[in-house]
Amino acid sequence: MKTALLSVWDKTGVVELAEKLAAENWRLVASGGTARALKEADLAVISVSEITGAPEMFDGRVKTLHPAIHAGILARDTDADRADLAKQDWSTIDLVVVNLYPFEEVVAEPDTSLAKAIEHIDIGGVALLRAAAKNHQRVTVLGSPGDYPKDLASLTDEAFRQKMAFKAFATSARYDNAIQKYFSGLEQEDAPINLSLYPVQSLRYGENPHQSAAYYATSPNAKIMGGNLLQGKALSYNNILDLDSAWNAVQNFDTPTAVVVKHLSPCGIASAPQIEVAIAPAIASDPVSAFGSVIASNREVNAKFVDGMGKLFVECIIAPSFSADAKEILAKKKNLRLLELDITAPRLTHDMRAVVGGFLRQDVDIVPPKNAPEWRVVTQKQPSAEEFAALKFAWRAVQPVKSNAILLAKSDGEKSYTVGIGGGQPNRVDCVRISGERAGDQAAGSVMASDAFFPFLDGVEEAEKMGVTAIIQPGGSIRDDEVIARADELGIAMVFTGMRHFKH
């Protein structure tokens, strides 16, 4: 008679699985709450303590940690191992069904105490997973309700047992990593970073057709970007990059805001009291670049928002939700991807980039950052109320633009919007000129945001030629006094933020 050991926190499907096993004459051994659940279902169950001859101890902290259990799991299919078991009057265990205390879920709860976190660190379950996975040539391990087979014939399939062993080791590694991460946070120390990433979807190709690519996530059952793809073709590598850039940019704003991104660069951003008012000026900022772009909204996309897009061809739209009438209209564009994403989900706190020989890790540049210094008007001319509204908007909008980043914006009392964006050039004055070229006649009367200080006078002088009336920048150059004096001569108001927004 084959023996199954069942010891699960998540009891989804465990009774149904046990019923199938019992129907095929398996002996059922279970611990604690699992044994009670099976007995309530009128199944014949042997408790773990009957096998070990020892009681469960310390409120269940010690149940399965016993040689009678682990010898039964780890015994190989050899005469010598069977003889060793027989000397102790122990039996082999052929199936281990186990899932772990929900440590990750518990520590994700706000204000979880250290004592509560510790009580949700699974010891015996991880030991069972690893022991069964190690001996998968003879033993099957099922580490998740999603793994329970419909047909018990799978339990004798070598390929299935190996697949389940791999998943068990991956679960154990992820679990230990979550515990290490939690305690590293308590100690406020730099610690090794162990990432467990799971393949979610293979992509057609990477940035170019000759590059293979796939999307990985920290959870094996995750969706791309954690969202729901409502329609359209599968997302490509480049789509995902652009969507990520647009989504991060739109989250900089509390007011209804639309962001247009092309090749990781925002080409138009607008905020307004209603989201449908924001989309048209966001596109108008650079309508040429907006062709084939992705659009992000931090409010539900409705039919009026879609009307504001006009006939513009876009690859994707990402938003917290889409109204029924918007979905009906957009359904006619079969290739357009619509991605729905929870705007209230926690933002990333760190990002990592691969470099030759290693990785760089940093805090995410959140706007506005914590403990930001007070802004200072450093020129004789004070910004008007309208200019100050535009400067506030421009400072949030410039953050996602590639350095050297220059952004021109306006505010009309109802909405604030970009009129020209320049970035990604080796010198700042070129970006000033590019922003002016994008803006054209709209540059006159605009304000300018610069992600870092102006090292020379030329950037301010170019701004004056365009008709810029106010500038916001971090300050901090050795030539700040000269730049301020030149702004005074040109009649431009200037505000220092004391904090820069480099984005390389």
Catalytic machinery residues: 134, 263
Amino acid 358 reads G
Q: Does the bond joining 383 to the residue before it have cis omega, within 30 degrees of 0? A: no
Positive or negative: CA dihedral 228, 109, 168, 16 = negative
Query: What residues does 447 pair with on adjacent strands?
Result: 409, 470
How many angstroms separate the CA atoms of 203 and 223, rounded?
13
Query: What is the token pair recorded at 263?
Result: 């090749």
- Number of C-beta neighbours around residue 64 at 10 A: 25
Give the burial string for 244-261 (b: 16+ CB within 10 Å, else e). Answer: bbbbbbbbbbebbbbbbb
Give the burial string for 20-30 (b: 16+ CB within 10 Å, else e). Answer: ebbeeebbbbb
Decide: 458 and 478 in contact? Cβ < 8 Å.
no
Length of the chain: 504
Decide: 34 and 11 in contact? Cβ < 8 Å.
yes
Query: Which residues, including other chains, have CB under 8 Å from residue 280's CB and lie 6 or more apart?
Result: 270, 308, 310
Query: What is the token pair recorded at 106?
Result: 């518990």
Is residue 73 helix, strand or coil? helix
How many angstroms separate the CA atoms of 107 and 109, rounded?
5
Query: Which residues, including other chains, have CB under 8 Å from residue 168's CB and lie 6 or more apart?
Result: 129, 130, 132, 133, 141, 143
Which strand (E) or helix (H) includes residue 189? none
Query: What is the token pair recorded at 72?
Result: 């039964």
Decide: 218 and 230 in contact? Cβ < 8 Å.
no
How many angstroms separate the CA atoms of 266 and 257, rounded?
13
Of residues 469, 464, 208, 502, the one with CA closest to residue 367: 502
Query: Which residues, including other chains, have CB under 8 Å from residue 110's CB and lie 6 or more apart?
Result: none
Give the burial string for 109-141 (b: 16+ CB within 10 Å, else e). Answer: eeeeeeeebeebbbebbbbbbbbbbebbebbbb
Give the burial string for 445-454 (b: 16+ CB within 10 Å, else e). Answer: bbbbbbbbbb
Opening angle at CA 26, ends 44 and 126, nearest 5: 90
**CA 162 to each of CA 135, 325, 431: distance values in angstroms, whole numbers, following the listed order:** 10, 49, 56
